[in-house]
Amino acid sequence: MNNNMLLYLIYGVGGVFALIVIAYLILAKRMKKSDYQQIKKLRQGTESGKYSTEILLQKLYINYSKIPFLKGYILKLRRRLEILNVDDEYATRRDAAKILTKTLIILIPIVILSIILTHSNYLVLSIVLVFELFMVDSFVDGMVDKMDNNLLREQLDFFAEIRHAYHEFNMVEEAIYQISQDDEKNISKQGDKIYEVLISNDPEIELEKYYDIAPNSYLKEFAGISYLTKEFGDRKVDRSSLYLKNVSNITEEMQIEILKRDKIDYVFQSLSIISIVPILGLEPLKNWSIGNFSFTQNFYCGKSGMMVQILVILLTVLCYLLLRKIKNNGSTDKNVQNTENPWQAKVYKNPIGKRITNLFIPKQGTKTYIKIQKLLKDSASKLKMEWLYVNRIVIAIVAFIVSLIIFVQLHITAINWIYTEPTTDYDIMGGMTGSELVEAQELTESDNRFLNMFRGNRKTTVDDIYKAMERSDDYEDAEEEQISLAAQRVWDKLQKVNSEYLDWFEVLISFAIMIVAFMSPIWLMYFQLKMRQMEMEDEVMQFQTIILMLMRIERVNVEIILEWLERYANIFKEPISKCVNNYEAGAWEALEELKNETNYQQFIRIVESLQAAVEKIPIREAFDELDSDRDYYQAKRRESNDRLISRKAMIGKVIGFAPMVVMFVGYLIIPLVFIGLTSMSSSMASIE
What percent of the residues of the chain are helix, what percent strand, and what percent coil, each to the nearest 5? Answer: 80, 0, 20
User: In terms of DSSP H, where are the helices of 199-241?
Assistant: 203-213, 217-232
Residue 72 CB partners (closer than 8 Å, separation 6+): none
What is the overall mean pLDDT for the chain?
A: 78
Residues in the chain, overall count = 688
Greater pLDDT, 637 or 183:
637
The yes-or-no verdict on residue 207 having pLDDT over 70 is yes
Q: Are 611 and 588 in contact (CB under 8 A)?
A: yes
pLDDT tens per residue across span 451-483: 888 787 777 887 887 888 877 777 777 777 877
Question: pLDDT at position 425, please?
Answer: 46
- The least confident of 187-191, 200-204, 416-420, 529-533 is 529-533
State pTM to two decimals: 0.69
Listed ranges 35-39, 172-176, 567-571; the one with the highest mean pLDDT: 172-176
pLDDT surpasses 70 at 332:
no
pLDDT at 20: 63
- Environment class of 161 (CB within 10 Å of its CB; exposed 0-12, middle 13-18, buried 19+): middle
Amino acid (1-letter code) at residue 266 = Y
**Contact, 309 vs 124, CB < 8 A?**
yes
Residue 48 is predicted with a pLDDT of 47
Residues sharing a CB contact under 8 Å with residue 414, sequence separation 6 or more, in sequence order: 302, 303, 496, 500
User: Are the C-beta atoms of residues 414 and 496 closer than 8 Å to each other?
Assistant: yes
Q: How far apart are CA 2 and CA 103, in angstroms?
A: 31
Query: Stretch 201-210: mean pLDDT, rounded?
Result: 86
Report which secondary-structure segment, H or E, holds 85.
none
**DSSP codes of every residue in 532-564:** HHTTHHHHHHHHHHHHHHHTTSTT--HHHHHHH
The DSSP-derived string for 577-645 is HHHHHHTTT-HHHHHHHHHHH---HHHHHHHHHHHHHHHTS-HHHHTHHHHHTHHHHHHHHHHHHHHHH
Q: Is the dihedral of CA 432, 438, 443, 444 positive or negative?
A: positive
Over 60: is that where the pLDDT of 7 sits? no
**Percent above pLDDT 90 for the chain:** 2
User: For residue range 427-447, what is the model confidence (pLDDT) as tens digits?
Assistant: 444 455 566 667 777 777 877
Chain CA centroid to CA 5, Å: 36
CA distance 428 to 425: 9
pLDDT > 60? residue 33: no
How far is Cα of residue 32 from the mean position of the Cα atoms in its chain?
Answer: 52
Q: Cβ(332)–Cβ(465) under 8 Å?
A: no
Predicted local distance difference test score (pLDDT) of residue 58:
83
